[in-house]
């Protein structure tokens, strides 16, 4: 475990924590309890309450204020499906990044084999499952204080000094700078204040868990205020690697955020912010899960290949949490940037400008063969990204009309340098034992058999040069026309331009340093030497320069009607799109070695979205019940296609004809008294391919020869070139998912402090889902449920001490299953966290 940098930050955090505990509380702070859109927010700090919640009559619940429509308003007044999670709920449940947030917002799905290969989806759509490719857009946008984060890798970092998180479901292109077809995650951090305040938090737990957070804010002058926040998380890995003697898949996160607020006049705020976060874990390893029969010859499937080299995996029980992968592992990840936000009240409206620069550096190392054999000995694609964004918005609120109009500019550069190398076990594992130099020779007793000669592939190395220049610009706007006191019509439009230019170049060399080519550089003739053919089949040289550019026009319209003071109904239609993309992982070659450049570009998705919803509150607003039903049809859905080779291409994007996701979401919250609250949120999602006739085949229909007849699934023989998976579910989507919980408290006196003793529970459950782009009998992840408990004391002057248990019943479950390359039938997986427990102490002043 790498702990040096953590200790440095822990010392700094401890200094701020000591300061926090030495200062007399300036205001009373009790608790904030927020679940989702149906939740009630409690912030007993009287000064902050006016800014963070909208007051309600005595004896009624407080409204949750959101900025989903770029203005402050109650979440119950927004004709949009939205989930809201506050800072206290994040802390109580240990949801310190987006991956853990999904347990509180069941419509959000998060999958990650490593920070770069991370995908987010809402209602089953967002990004192709299990694909690392910089050339396409995310369908779920992440915004932090109005700044768009283009890399979903940022979702793996710890939340830093967060005030509130809003998860918006459905297309958001007419309100947000970057177009998002599935939804958006809108994160608001705590802002600088002119009243001195702060917060310190320390947590410890099993698996060596340590977490420290601190934030402090106050005035520097009458017109300038500052805020500084730090966070550090460290935890031992959950898998033990017998090959290295280390625990892997650890957590090692450090983050800083600083903000300066200049308020020269009452109607002008200028905020300069900067942040820096880094991760340096030994990650991300997998465990053996199972094998499944493919259509390769039996002597080329996993069991036979392993036996031929005398290899036995360290454990066949994945929940022994043992692995023996032998390649280096690293998930070095650094992200940061700076922004200037200007908010100017110009009288009838507010003008907002957000200028930002962000960077992302990725330093990985992986074991691509998922075994303890030296097959793929090196696999890494370090990457550097820079992005610049500029957003300009004008918001107006009037008696009959409210509107927002905006312009957005975006430029991103990504530079990636990759290295892939094969080892001494590669020939025996990857090559056909019958493929020999001498016709008729076969079997390892024959020295001329390629598979028995380790020098054929040992030391073969590929160097990748991958580049992306991505430019986007948009004009967008939305109007709310209050036709009557009850009826509002809300149309919106977006005009968008996207341009992407890319380069993918892979140079391959054999173990002696000679270039591996398709054609003789002097004669131009196709090289047919069996050794060279074997080398380039395993690591294929290629160069392509794909590009894409297009204009798009999209729009939406929402009608909402207030049937009663606390009953709002709405209906929405949105015609949206997701920008086209380019393949930057390589594309298949034809038999002559020419890249199939026609698949280098991916068409835009065309989205038709329908939604109806009802938002209600009753019993003096102490009960909230919201229901939404939706249907989204997507033509030219951007889906993963797997070429099937070991390392030729790791998969590329193609367009599926049509996808549909539809379902119902219910959010319920009740707070009968200050002593008790309860929430239940659930959704049913049917996300499936309506038509996808050229899909990649699942492993049981892969690995065989070309020709007819096609063999039965899992039977050696011929395999189809592609499969028709029309009607099958999308990967990663559970039909049913729920989050639920509650808290009960009693007045108490502890350590001479007045406050509350409380017991809290938060649970989540989901039904089974496919962990492969094309559903396979081998990669279904069975449904599971998780339970988190906490017991603690919170004082009236800002002290909170609680013990917690997460995954209390030690549920064994998988976060993700992966099909090993080469159609060997090996299935590897990433087990979810076991039971964890610990203690947290926080103090607010």
Q: pLDDT of 312-354, one tens digit each? A: 999 999 999 999 999 999 989 999 999 999 999 998 899 999 9
Rounded to whole angstroms, the Cα distance separating 372 from 202 reads 38
Give the H/E segment covering residue 101: helix 98-101
> Based on C-alpha coordinates, what's the Rg of the chain?
28
Q: pLDDT of 504-521, one tens digit each? A: 999 999 999 999 999 999
Q: Please say if the pLDDT value at position 462 is more than 80.
A: yes
Identify the band that residue 445 occupies on the pLDDT scale cut at 50, 70 and 90: low
Most confident of 6-10, 111-115, 390-394, 636-640: 390-394
Query: Would you list the DSSP string of 409-462?
Result: EEEEEEEEEEEEEE-TTHHHHHS-TT-BSSTT--STTSTTBGGG-GGGTTT-EE
The order of strands in the sheet holding 287-291 is 287-291, 826-831, 814-819
- Specify the 3-state DSSP secondary structure of 516: coil
Q: What is the mean pLDDT of residues 220-246?
A: 96
Q: Which residues are CB-contacts of 505 (< 8 A; sequence separation ≥ 6)?
A: 464, 465, 466, 542, 543, 544
Identify the band that residue 131 occupies on the pLDDT scale cut at 50, 70 and 90: low
Q: Please say if the pLDDT value at position 157 is more than 80.
A: no
Q: CA separation (Å) from 751 to 303, 409, 458, 526, 843? A: 62, 55, 67, 83, 14
**C-beta of residue 52 within 8 angstroms of C-beta of residue 42:** no
Q: What is the mean pLDDT of residues 99-105?
A: 77
Backbone φ, ψ for residue 6 (5° rounding): -65, -45
**C-beta of residue 314 within 8 angstroms of C-beta of residue 240:** no
Residue 425, both tokens: 């076990």
Q: What is the pLDDT of residue 660?
A: 97
Q: What is the pLDDT of residue 17?
A: 39
Q: Which residues are CB-contacts of 752 (< 8 A; sequence separation ≥ 6)?
A: none
**C-beta of residue 835 within 8 angstroms of C-beta of residue 808:** yes
Which residue has 């200049």 as its token pair?
A: 262
Q: Please say if the pLDDT value at position 37 is more than 70.
A: no
Rounded to whole angstroms, the Cα distance separating 807 from 787 reads 5
Q: How is the chain split among helix, strand and coil, in percent rounded to 5?
A: 10, 50, 40
Q: Please say if the pLDDT value at position 181 is more than 50.
A: yes
Q: What is the pLDDT of residue 129?
A: 63
Q: pLDDT of 6-30, one tens digit each? A: 344 334 344 333 333 333 333 322 3
CA 366 to centroid of chain Cα atoms: 19
Rounded to whole angstroms, the Cα distance separating 515 from 502 reads 24
Q: pLDDT of 688-720, one tens digit each? A: 999 999 888 999 999 998 888 999 999 999 999
Rounded to whole angstroms, the Cα distance separating 613 from 665 reads 9
**C-beta of residue 573 within 8 angstroms of C-beta of residue 610:** yes
- Show the DSSP H helices in 132-231 as ranges: none
Q: CA separation (Å) from 456 to 164, 474, 512? A: 57, 52, 10
Q: CA separation (Å) from 602 to 117, 531, 578? A: 19, 34, 11
Residue 34, both tokens: 């927020």
- Specify the 3-state DSSP secondary structure of 398: coil
Q: What is the pLDDT of residue 707?
A: 87
Rounded to whole angstroms, the Cα distance separating 769 from 692 reads 19
Query: Would you list the DSSP string of 242-305?
Result: TTTTEEES-EEEEEEEEEEEEEEETTEEEEEEEEEEEE-------EEEEE---SS-GGGSHHHH
Q: What is the pLDDT of residue 575?
A: 95
Q: What is the pLDDT of residue 18?
A: 38
Domain ranges of the chain: 4-423+459-844
**C-beta of residue 144 within 8 angstroms of C-beta of residue 135:** no
Rounded to whole angstroms, the Cα distance separating 587 from 595 reads 6
Q: CA separation (Å) from 630 to 169, 238, 404, 685, 739? A: 10, 38, 25, 9, 19
**C-beta of residue 111 within 8 angstroms of C-beta of residue 73:** no
**C-beta of residue 608 within 8 angstroms of C-beta of residue 575:** yes
**C-beta of residue 839 within 8 angstroms of C-beta of residue 802:** yes
In this structure, the chain runs to a length of 845
Q: What is the mean pLDDT of residues 758-787?
A: 94
522 strand-pairing partners: none
Q: What is the pLDDT of residue 642?
A: 60
Rounded to whole angstroms, the Cα distance separating 125 from 823 reads 27
| Angle at 323 (CA atoms; ends 322, 324), nearest 5 degrees | 135
471 strand-pairing partners: 411, 499
Nearest to 405 by CA among 332, 300, 479: 479
Q: Which residues are CB-contacts of 228 (< 8 A; sequence separation ≥ 6)?
A: 16, 215, 216, 217, 256, 257, 258, 259
Q: Which residues are CB-contacts of 55 (< 8 A; sequence separation ≥ 6)?
A: 49, 62
- Specify the 3-state DSSP secondary structure of 597: helix
Most confident of 257-266, 346-355, 586-595, 632-641: 257-266
Share of the chain above pLDDT 70, in %: 88
Q: Please say if the pLDDT value at position 425 is more than 90.
A: yes
Q: What is the pLDDT of residue 112?
A: 76
Higher pLDDT, 440 or 702: 702
Residue 809, both tokens: 């019943």
CB atoms within 10 A of CB 151: 24
**C-beta of residue 358 within 8 angstroms of C-beta of residue 337:** yes
Residue 430, both tokens: 């990857």
Rounded to whole angstroms, the Cα distance separating 363 from 383 reads 7
Global pTM reads: 0.87
Rounded to whole angstroms, the Cα distance separating 837 from 789 reads 9
Greatest alpha-carbon span in the chain: 91
What is the residue-averaged pLDDT of the chain? 86
Q: What is the pLDDT of residue 833?
A: 94
Q: pLDDT of 266-310, one tens digit each? A: 999 999 999 999 999 999 999 999 999 999 999 999 999 999 999
CB atoms within 10 A of CB 679: 25
Q: Please say if the pLDDT value at position 237 is more than 90.
A: yes
Give the H/E segment covering residue 92: helix 87-93
Q: What is the mean pLDDT of residues 88-106?
A: 75
Q: pLDDT of 547-565, one tens digit each? A: 999 999 999 999 999 999 9
Higher pLDDT, 455 or 589: 455
Q: Please say if the pLDDT value at position 175 is more than 50.
A: yes
What burial letters (b/e) apply to 24-34, b meaning 16+ CB within 10 Å?
A: ebbbebbbbbb
Q: Which residues are CB-contacts of 785 (< 8 A; sequence separation ≥ 6)?
A: 763, 764, 765, 766, 811
Q: pLDDT of 38-89, one tens digit each? A: 333 332 333 333 333 333 333 344 567 777 677 777 888 888 888 888 877 7
Give the H/E segment covering residue 490: strand 487-509
Higher pLDDT, 432 or 44: 432
Mean pLDDT is lowest, of 114-118, 138-142, 374-378, 461-465, for 114-118
Q: Which residues are CB-contacts of 751 (< 8 A; sequence separation ≥ 6)?
A: none
Q: What is the mean pLDDT of residues 758-774?
A: 93
**C-beta of residue 331 within 8 angstroms of C-beta of residue 279:** yes
Give the H/E segment covering residue 338: strand 330-345
Residue 440, both tokens: 């008729």
Q: What is the pLDDT of residue 444?
A: 63
Share of the chain above pLDDT 90, in %: 63
Residue 143, both tokens: 């915004």
| Angle at 673 (CA atoms; ends 670, 675), nearest 5 degrees | 105
CA 661 to centroid of chain Cα atoms: 19
Q: What is the pLDDT of residue 434?
A: 56
Q: What is the mean pLDDT of residues 129-151?
A: 82
CATH superfamily assigned to domain 4-423+459-844: TonB-dependent receptor, beta-barrel domain (2.40.170.20)
Identify the band that residue 107 occupies on the pLDDT scale cut at 50, 70 and 90: confident
- Specify the 3-state DSSP secondary structure of 509: strand
132 strand-pairing partners: none
Rounded to whole angstroms, the Cα distance separating 170 from 663 reads 12
- Specify the 3-state DSSP secondary structure of 647: coil
Nearest to 805 by CA among 156, 206, 237: 206
**C-beta of residue 414 within 8 angstroms of C-beta of residue 151:** no
Identify the band that residue 265 occupies on the pLDDT scale cut at 50, 70 and 90: very high
Residue 463, both tokens: 């160097």
């Amino acid at each position: 475990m790498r702990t040096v940098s953590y200790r440095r930050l822990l010392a700094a955090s401890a200094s701020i924590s000591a300061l926090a505990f030495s200062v007399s509380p300036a205001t009373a702070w009790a608790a904030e309890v927020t679940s989702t859109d149906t939740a009630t927010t409690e912030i007993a700090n009287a000064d902050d309450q006016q800014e963070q919640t909208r007051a309600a009559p005595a004896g009624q619940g407080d409204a949750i204020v959101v900025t989903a429509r770029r203005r402050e308003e109650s979440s119950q007044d927004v004709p949009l499906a939205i989930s809201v999670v506050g800072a206290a709920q994040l802390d109580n449940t240990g949801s310190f990044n987006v991956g853990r947030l999904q347990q509180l917002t069941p419509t959000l799905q998060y999958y990650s084999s490593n920070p770069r290969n991370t995908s987010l989806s809402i209602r089953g759509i967002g990004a192709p499952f299990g694909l690392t490719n910089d050339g396409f857009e995310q369908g779920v946008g992440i915004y932090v204080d109005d700044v768009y984060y283009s890399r979903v890798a940022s979702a793996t970092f710890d939340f830093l000094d967060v005030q509130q998180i809003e998860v918006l479901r459905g297309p958001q292109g007419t309100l947000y700078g970057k177009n998002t077809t599935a939804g958006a995650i809108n994160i608001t951090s705590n802002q600088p204040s002119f009243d001195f305040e702060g917060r310190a938090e320390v947590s410890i737990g099993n698996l060596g868990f340590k977490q420290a957070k601190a934030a402090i804010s106050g005035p520097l002058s009458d017109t300038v205020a500052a805020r500084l926040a730090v966070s550090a998380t460290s935890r031992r890995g959950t898998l033990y690697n017998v090959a290295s003697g280390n625990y892997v898949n650890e957590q090692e996160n450090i983050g800083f955020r600083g903000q300066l607020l200049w308020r020269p006049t009452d109607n002008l705020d200028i905020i300069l912010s900067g942040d820096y976060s880094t991760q340096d874990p030994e990650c991300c390893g997998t465990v053996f899960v199972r094998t499944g029969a493919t259509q390769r010859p039996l002597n080329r499937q996993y069991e036979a290949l392993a036996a031929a080299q005398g290899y036995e995996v360290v454990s066949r029980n994945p929940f022994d949490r043992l692995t023996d992968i032998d390649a280096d592992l690293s998930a070095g990840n650094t992200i940061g940037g700076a922004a200037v936000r200007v908010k100017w009240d110009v009288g009838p409206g507010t003008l907002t400008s957000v200028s930002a620069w962000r960077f992302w550096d990725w330093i990985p190392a992986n074991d691509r063969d998922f075994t303890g054999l030296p097959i793929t000995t090196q696999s890494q694609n370090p990457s550097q990204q820079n992005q610049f964004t500029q957003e300009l918005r004008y918001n107006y609120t009037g008696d009959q009309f409210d509107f927002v109009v905006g312009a957005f500019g975006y430029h991103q550069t990504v530079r990636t340098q990759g290295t892939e190398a094969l080892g001494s076990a590669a020939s025996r594992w990857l090559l056909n034992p019958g493929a020999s130099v001498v016709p008729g020779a076969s079997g390892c007793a024959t020295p001329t058999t390629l598979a028995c000669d380790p020098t054929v592939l040992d030391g073969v190395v590929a160097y990748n040069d991958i580049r992306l220049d991505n430019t986007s610009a948009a004009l967008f706007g939305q109007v709310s026309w209050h036709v009557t006191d009850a009826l509002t019509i809300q149309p919106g439009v977006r005009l968008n331009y996207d341009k992407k230019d890319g380069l993918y170049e892979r140079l391959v060399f054999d173990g002696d340093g000679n270039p591996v080519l398709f054609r003789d550089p002097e004669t131009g003739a196709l090289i047919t030497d069996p050794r060279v053919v074997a080398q380039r089949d395993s690591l294929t040289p290629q160069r392509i320069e794909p590009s894409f550019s297009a204009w798009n026009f999209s729009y939406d319209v929402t009608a909402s009607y207030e049937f009663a003071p606390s009953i709002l109904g709405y209906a929405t239609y949105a015609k949206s799109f997701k920008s086209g993309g380019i393949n930057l992982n390589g594309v298949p070659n034809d038999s002559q070695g020419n890249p199939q450049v026609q698949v280098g570009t991916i068409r835009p998705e065309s989205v038709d979205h329908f939604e109806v919803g009802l938002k209600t509150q009753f019993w003096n607003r102490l009960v909230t019940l919201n229901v939404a039903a939706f249907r989204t049809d997507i033509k030219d859905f951007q889906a993963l296609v797997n070429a099937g080779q070991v390392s030729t291409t790791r998969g590329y994007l193609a367009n599926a004809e049509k996808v549909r996701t539809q379902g119902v979401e219910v959010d319920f919250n009740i707070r009968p008294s200050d002593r008790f609250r309860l929430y239940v949120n659930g959704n049913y999602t049917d996300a499936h391919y309506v038509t996808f006739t050229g899909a990649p085949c699942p492993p049981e229909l892969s690995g065989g020869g070309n020709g007819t007849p096609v063999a039965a699934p899992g039977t050696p023989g011929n395999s189809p070139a592609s499969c028709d998976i029309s009607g099958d579910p999308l990967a990663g989507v559970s039909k049913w998912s729920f989050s639920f919980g509650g808290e009960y408290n009693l007045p108490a006196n502890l350590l001479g402090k007045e406050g509350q003793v409380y017991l809290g529970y938060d649970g989540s459950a989901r039904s089974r889902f496919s962990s492969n782009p094309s559903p396979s009998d081998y990669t279904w992840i069975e449904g599971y449920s998780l339970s988190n408990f906490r017991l603690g004391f919170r004082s009236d002057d800002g002290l909170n001490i609680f013990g917690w248990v997460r995954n209390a019943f030690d549920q064994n479950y998988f976060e993700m299953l992966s099909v090993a390359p080469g159609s060997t039938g090996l299935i590897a997986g990433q087990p979810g966290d076991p039971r964890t427990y610990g203690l947290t102490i926080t103090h607010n002043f």
